[in-house]
């Protein structure tokens, strides 16, 4: 064993790996802990980089962070491709948001108006424009809009690329399971363990189940559409993400459950919505049905920054539906915080402290929870 | 190596294994050849033993054979359970045939009238009787009938049980692939190779694709219904086979294709029909999506008996949708034929010779197909 590392990252998903890469590239000695890197939510995720289509009512600060991180993606993707030598499936064809019925379209338009009010680039299309962009859409589709800056990446390519980049920068990955933070010896510990952060830190991170299908275009060909398609089909939200390889990811349910079973009803609803929007999918093979658990938080926004009452411990978790798009900004700002000691103002709305008093996961013993007199602040 | 076996069986699916068991139990020395026993159509099959519900217009002789074999099943199942010590999932709860819409019910009633005209036991039920029998049926289901003698067995339990019984009777299984019948050295060779029979014999056996789903009841429980349910749902035929283990088999497509890909459109149609008939299936897990290839023939009936022009070679193939139900009669009659030299009259409609001149699979060489002067007849 060498001497104590500067940074220990618990969790080698995209967020943990990117933080490790950024820290190692700045000369810090970094160790990642994960028994199965990339086996969490990112293994199921579609990889949409969609700050516009994901901008929802009442999530103004999250939208700002999504937009900031999405703007970092082109350079991040280029740098990562260079550093890893790997193709990460980054595609900038843009996203079409469509409505199948008049009701679906009315619902979509309400959201587009909100997004345009924020100055976000979503452009309603005439039906002929929509078909010109994507002739494979069902004739029933009533209308849609184009979000040119909503891109995609393949999370199953992203994770190994990030690992390569992190390791080439000097980070090491250790397969042991971290059951408590005291198992980790480092100057700074970053908890990037997704849903596992709850048990490690007491933070209010809960599993939010998502079921996803993977299809494959016939005869080894590419999918017959090139945009990410997000739609409402008879009230059912669905997305269709085409990969150059021929894969199409169809997702996703959002369920307050912690199991990873694949339910017949969910598969039926996803397939029905997918085929209603894009009939040719009927002829695609189903290659995978899978469910994962997103790390959700009370306000749907991530938890980024120093853990109150735990000096030297940072959280980078709770990314919920947004882990892939938020990977660059998370990695940059956490690495900045570690190396400079100064928190970027962007982090202010996302501190662990926003959920109230200091969390404490130690079980109450005979003497009750232990208290610490150390300074809670990071700086 | 011991001396030449009396019987070589090519193909260790249910039919081949049962023939081997019956022959070995009569004192013959039997060798089975199969690189992957039970990996063919039986691995996908639901295992319905349904001579009544499977009695279709224009298939009078096949219906007779199905009825005969189904009548052998109770004793066959008891004997096999005794011989193997294994539970084969044999259940006699009977089958409900139902129609979702008025059109579906009209279609079903036409078939019931035909089946009742043949004297087969299918009993139309009043809606209240139907719900009393199976309360989990959707309220939309318009009507149904009860086929008390249409039972089920689990093919994935049947195959290992048959193998155990065959081996305990002295048969041996060899894993080599038989590429041509001249690779096999035995007094009698039985070709029970399913779709593989075509290449070995030249018989008109073609693959007929079937896609099937396997679901699992929630929380480790049994399915919420006990009958096999066969239905028409908005024109889509579907069956639902409940197992004591909690498994439900949902099937099946019938397609003139030779690939084993699982198509999104087929899964969507099967799930929609299944959930329309039995809404609780929506909450079941999908544990498997799979496709297999049935050995179809020009008249949908099996090919049973001596191969013209190939002395010492018998066919037992082409069982199409009926391989499981026809296993006992096939095994009994083929074993009788081998041991007594006398063909049961039941076999007459199913001889290999009914498709015309002797098949010949030898590639035409410079001198053209070889001719044989040996007697074509079996006896």
What are B60-107's pLDDT values in tens digits?
Answer: 999 999 999 999 999 999 999 999 999 999 999 999 999 999 999 999
**Rounded to the nearest 5 degrees, what angle is found at the Cα of A363, between the Cα atoms of A360 and A364?**
95
Q: Which two tokens stand for residue B190?
A: 């039985």
Upstream peptide bond of A252 is cis (omega within 30 degrees of 0): yes
Query: Do B195 and B244 belong to one domain?
Result: no
Last residue of a domain, one of B241, B260, B293: B293
Can you state the percent helix, strand and coil of chain A, rounding each to 5?
Answer: 35, 20, 40
pLDDT band at A356 (very low <50, low <70, confident <90, very high): confident
Q: Does A225 touch chain B (CB under 8 A)?
A: no
Q: Do the strands B95-99 and B143-147 form a parallel or antiparallel pair, or are they unpaired?
A: antiparallel
A180 vs B231: CA distance, rounded Å: 54
Does the distance separating the beta carbons of A283 and B274 come in below 8 Å? no
Does the distance separating the beta carbons of A272 and B263 come in below 8 Å? no
Region A163-172 average pLDDT: 98
For A286, which of B215, B267, B274 is closest by C-beta distance? B267
For residue A366, pLDDT over 60 is answered with no
Does the distance separating the beta carbons of B281 and A271 come in below 8 Å? no
- Strands of the sheet containing A206-216, edge to edge, are A123-125, A143-147, A95-99, A228-233, A236-242, A247-251, A206-216, A285-296
Domain range spanning residue A310? Answer: 1-91+152-205+297-379
For residue B262, pLDDT over 80 is answered with yes
For A275, which of B264, B275, B286 is closest by C-beta distance? B264
B292 vs A232: CA distance, rounded Å: 34
Query: Do A113 and A224 belong to one domain?
Result: yes
Residue entry with tokens 């015309």: B356
Contacts with A273 from chain B: Cβ below 8 Å: none
Does the distance separating the beta carbons of A289 and B275 come in below 8 Å? no
How high is the ipTM of this complex? 0.85
Does the distance separating the beta carbons of A265 and B286 come in below 8 Å? no
Q: Does A260 touch chain B (CB under 8 A)?
A: no
Neighbours of A235 (CB within 10 A): 12
B180 vs B199: CA distance, rounded Å: 8
Query: How many residue pairs from chains A and B have C-beta atoms closer than 8 A?
Result: 65
Q: What is the CATH number of the domain that holds B319?
A: 3.50.50.60
A286 vs B102: CA distance, rounded Å: 32
Query: Do A53 and A64 belong to one domain?
Result: yes
**Which residues, 6+ apart, have CB-to-CB distance to B57 below 8 Å?**
B111, B114
Last residue of a domain, one of B268, B293, B318: B293
Rg (CA), chain B: 21
Does the distance separating the beta carbons of B271 and A264 come in below 8 Å? yes
8 Å CB contact between A268 and A126: no
For B285, which of A213, A261, A286 is closest by C-beta distance? A261
Residues linked to residue A317 through DSSP beta bridges, in sequence order: A303
Query: Do B228 and B362 belong to one domain?
Result: no
Q: Does A272 touch chain B (CB under 8 A)?
A: yes
pLDDT band at A11 (very low <50, low <70, confident <90, very high): very high
Does the distance separating the beta carbons of A264 and B285 come in below 8 Å? yes
Q: What's the pLDDT tens digit per position in A70-113?
A: 999 999 999 999 999 999 999 999 999 999 999 999 999 999 99
Residue entry with tokens 């209010």: A204
pLDDT band at B367 (very low <50, low <70, confident <90, very high): very low
Q: Does A285 touch chain B (CB under 8 A)?
A: yes
pLDDT band at A3 (very low <50, low <70, confident <90, very high): confident
Q: Does A82 touch chain B (CB under 8 A)?
A: no
Residue B357, pLDDT score = 63
A94 vs A229: CA distance, rounded Å: 9
Query: Do B100 and B77 belong to one domain?
Result: no
Residue B117, Cα to own-chain centre: how many angstroms?
Answer: 25
B319 vs B326: CA distance, rounded Å: 7
Does the distance separating the beta carbons of B262 and A286 come in below 8 Å? yes
Q: How many residues does chain B have?
A: 379
Does the distance separating the beta carbons of A264 and B283 come in below 8 Å? yes
Q: What is residue B322's DSSP assignment?
A: G
Q: What is residue B181's DSSP assignment?
A: G
Does the distance separating the beta carbons of B274 and A264 come in below 8 Å? yes
Contacts with A272 from chain B: Cβ below 8 Å: 268, 272
pLDDT band at A181 (very low <50, low <70, confident <90, very high): very high
**Which residues, 6+ apart, have CB-to-CB distance to B357 below 8 Å?**
B308
From chain B residues 308-367, the ones with a CB under 8 A of any chain A CB are: none
Q: Mutation target for B interface from A264, A277, A282: give the one with most B CBs within 10 A.
A: A264
Does the distance separating the beta carbons of A267 and B285 come in below 8 Å? no
Query: Do A58 and A167 belong to one domain?
Result: yes
How many structural domains is chain A composed of?
A: 2
8 Å CB contact between A204 and A298: yes
Nearest residue to B90 via CA among B49, B52, B34, B43: B49
Region A139-162 average pLDDT: 97
Q: What's the pLDDT tens digit per position in B300-359?
A: 999 999 999 999 999 999 999 999 999 999 999 999 999 999 999 999 999 999 997 654
For residue B365, pLDDT over 60 is answered with no
pLDDT band at B371 (very low <50, low <70, confident <90, very high): very low
Q: Does A261 touch chain B (CB under 8 A)?
A: yes
Query: Do B196 and B341 belong to one domain?
Result: yes
CA atoms within 13 A on the CB side of B150: 28
Q: Does A234 touch chain B (CB under 8 A)?
A: no
Does the distance separating the beta carbons of B261 and A285 come in below 8 Å? yes
Does the distance separating the beta carbons of B272 and A282 come in below 8 Å? no
pLDDT band at B125 (very low <50, low <70, confident <90, very high): very high
Strand boundaries in B43-202, DSSP class E = 48-49, 95-99, 123-125, 143-147, 151-152, 172-174, 188-191
A309 vs A361: CA distance, rounded Å: 11
8 Å CB contact between A259 and A294: no
8 Å CB contact between A18 and A331: yes
- Burial code of A239-256, b = ≥16 C-beta within 10 A, e = fewer? bbbbbeebbbbbbbbebe
Query: Do A103 and A234 belong to one domain?
Result: yes
Average pLDDT, chain A: 93
8 Å CB contact between B327 and B69: yes
Last residue of a domain, one of B251, B276, B293: B293
Torsion angle of the four alpha carbons A169, A175, A180, A186, in this order, in degrees rounded to the nearest 10: -30
Residue B2, pLDDT score = 58
For A215, which of B264, B275, B282 is closest by C-beta distance? B264
Residue B215, pLDDT score = 98
Contacts with A264 from chain B: Cβ below 8 Å: 213, 215, 271, 274-275, 281-286
Query: Do B263 and B326 belong to one domain?
Result: no
Calculate what percentage of chain A has a pLDDT beyond 70.
93
pLDDT band at A357 (very low <50, low <70, confident <90, very high): low
8 Å CB contact between A272 and A243: no
Query: Do B169 and B59 belong to one domain?
Result: yes
Q: What is the CATH number of the domain that holds B222?
A: 3.30.9.10
pLDDT band at A2 (very low <50, low <70, confident <90, very high): low
pLDDT band at B374 (very low <50, low <70, confident <90, very high): very low
Q: Does A273 touch chain B (CB under 8 A)?
A: no
For residue A372, pLDDT over 70 is answered with no
Q: What's the pLDDT tens digit per position in B21-68?
A: 999 999 999 999 999 999 999 999 999 999 999 999 999 999 999 999
Q: Which residue has the higher pLDDT, B378 or A172?
A: A172
8 Å CB contact between B152 and B228: yes
Q: Does A232 touch chain B (CB under 8 A)?
A: no
Max avg pLDDT among A352-356, B302-306, B358-362: B302-306
Query: Do B285 and B218 belong to one domain?
Result: yes
Q: Mutation target for A interface from B247, B271, B286, B290: give the one with most A CBs within 10 A.
A: B286
For residue B377, pLDDT over 90 is answered with no
Query: Do B246 and B235 belong to one domain?
Result: yes
Region B215-223 average pLDDT: 96
């Amino acid at each position: 064993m060498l001497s104590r590392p500067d940074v220990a990252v618990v969790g080698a998903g995209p967020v943990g790996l990117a933080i490790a890469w950024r820290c190692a590239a700045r000369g810090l000695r970094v160790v990642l802990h994960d028994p199965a890197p990339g086996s969490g939510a990112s293994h199921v995720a579609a990889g949409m980089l969609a700050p516009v289509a994901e901008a929802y009512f009442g999530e103004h600060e999250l939208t700002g962070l999504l937009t900031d991180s999405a703007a970092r993606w082109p350079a991040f993707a280029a740098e990562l491709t260079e550093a890893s030598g790997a193709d990460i499936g980054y595609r900038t064809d843009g996203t079409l948001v469509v409505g199948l019925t008049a009701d679906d379209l009315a619902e979509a338009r309400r959201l587009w108006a909100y997004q345009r009010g924020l100055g976000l680039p979503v452009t309603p299309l005439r039906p002929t424009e929509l078909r010109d962009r994507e002739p494979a859409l069902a004739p029933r589709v009533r209308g849609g809009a184009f979000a040119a800056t909503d891109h995609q990446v393949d999370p199953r390519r992203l994770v190994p690329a990030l690992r390569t980049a992190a390791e080439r920068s000097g980070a090491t990955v250790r397969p042991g399971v971290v059951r408590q933070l005291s198992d980790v010896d480092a100057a700074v510990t970053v908890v990037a363990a997704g849903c596992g952060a709850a048990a490690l830190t007491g933070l209010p991170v809960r599993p939010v189940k998502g079921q996803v299908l993977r299809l494959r275009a016939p005869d080894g060909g590419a999918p017959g559409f090139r945009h990410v398609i997000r739609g409402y089909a008879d009230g059912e939200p669905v997305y269709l993400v085409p990969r150059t390889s021929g894969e199409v990811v169809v997702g996703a349910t959002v369920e307050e459950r912690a199991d990873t079973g694949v339910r017949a009803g969910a598969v039926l609803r996803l397939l029905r919505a997918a085929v209603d929007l894009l009939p040719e999918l009927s002829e695609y093979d189903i290659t995978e049905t899978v469910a994962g658990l997103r790390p959700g938080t009370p306000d749907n926004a991530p938890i980024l920054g120093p853990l109150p009452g735990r000096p030297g411990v940072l959280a980078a978790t709770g990314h919920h539906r947004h882990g892939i798009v938020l990977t660059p900004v998370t990695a940059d700002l956490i690495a900045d915080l570690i190396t400079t000691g100064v928190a970027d103002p962007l982090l202010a709305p996302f501190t662990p402290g926003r959920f109230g008093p200091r969390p404490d996961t130690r079980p109450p013993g005979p003497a009750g929870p232990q208290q610490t007199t150390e300074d809670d602040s990071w700086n």
